[in-house]
Homo-oligomer: A and B are copies of this chain.
Amino acid sequence: MADKYFGAVELGGTKTFVMVAKNRKEIIDRKIFPTSSPKQTILDITRYFQGVSSTKGISLAGIGVGSFGPLDLDTKSPTFGFITSTPKYAWPFTDLKGELQSELQTPIFIDTDVNASAYGEYNSLVDKNIESFVYITIGTGIGGGFIINGKILHGLLHPEFGHIRIPHNLRKDPFPGSCPYHQDCFEGLASGPALEKRWHTDPKNLPEDHMAWELESEYIAYALSNLIVTISPEKIILGGGVVHQKHLFPKIYTKVQQILNKYIKCVLLEDQIHALITPPILGDDSGIMGALELAIDNIR
C-alpha cells in the first residue's frame, strides 16, 4: 500500500497554520501566514497545499481544518461547513469547506478551532481510555471542546462554554463584564480583553501578586468546578493566552478545591488535582495537530 499524506489547517482570526504530514510523528512541511480576506486566505491555503504536493511529488488523502467560527457543523444543513455570522469583516457566510474542497479536489474535514485543539490534546494522551475529556481555552475568547468516549461532542450546535454564568461578586469586583451578549458571563469576566478592560493595561503587565490574578483564578475555578460537577471530566486541559501565566495553575487548584469543599470524594481531585487540570501537552500546536488527526481519523 502506498504511503498516505494528510493536510491540516488551523484558521485563526489573525494567523493561519498549515501543515502536511504522514502522521503525527512525521511532519513533512509546515507554514504560518496572516489571515487576510476570505478570498486571499483560501487562495493562500490552496497554493500552499498545491505547492507542497508538487514539490514533494505526493497527493493528499484529505485535509483537516480547525477554524474560528461560528461554524455550521450540521451535516444536514445547506450551509454545512460555512463560517456563519462572525463579526470578522468580510468573513460572514464563507463556504470554507466547499471552496477548499473544490479548489483542492480532496476531502475536507472541518470542526471548530477549539474542538480541533481538544482533539489534538486528547490524541496526545498516553492513556486514552477515558470517557470524559475537556479542553478549555482562555484567551481573546473563552471556549471549550469536549471529547466523550473518544468522539468530539457537537450536540445541537457546538458548546459555547465561555458563556456559562458563574457567581460574580460585584462588591469585590465592580467591573460589569465585557460580553456584548451576557455582560458578566465567564468570558465577559475572565477573557484577555475582559482583563485588559478591567485593569486598563495588557494583562501581561500585571505582576503575579496583583489581585487581578486572584479574581481571575476564582472565575476560572468556578467555571471548572461547574464543569466537574456537570460532566465529571477525567482530564481538563487549560490552554490559551491568559493561562500562559503559569502561576495561575496553583491558584486555580486551591480555589477549585475550596469551591467543591470536599463534596466529591476522589483522589484525583483531592490529592492529584495537578494531574486532573493541566496545561496543554502540545503547547501552541494543539489545534494544528488536532486538525491533522481529524483528517487521519476520517480517512482511516
Contact of A59 with B by CB under 8 A: no
Instruction: Count identical subunits in the complex.
Output: 2
With A230-B144, A261-B181, A265-B85 already in contact, the answer to whether A222 and B155 are too (CB < 8 A) is: no
Report the contact-size class of chain A (Cβ under 8 Å from the partner): 35 or more
Interface of A (DSSP majority class)? loop
- Closest chain B residue to A146, Cβ basis: B231
A161 touches B230 (CB 8 A): yes
A160 touches B263 (CB 8 A): yes
B153 touches A232 (CB 8 A): yes
Nearest 4 Cβ contacts at the A-B interface: A155-B232, A132-B155, A181-B263, A160-B229
A264 touches B160 (CB 8 A): yes
Contact of A225 with B by CB under 8 A: yes
Contact of A154 with B by CB under 8 A: yes
Contact of A157 with B by CB under 8 A: yes
Contact of A131 with B by CB under 8 A: yes
- Closest chain B residue to A72, Cβ basis: B265
B232 touches A163 (CB 8 A): no
When chains A and B are docked, how far (Å) is the Cα of A157 from the Cα of B276? 13
A266 touches B233 (CB 8 A): no
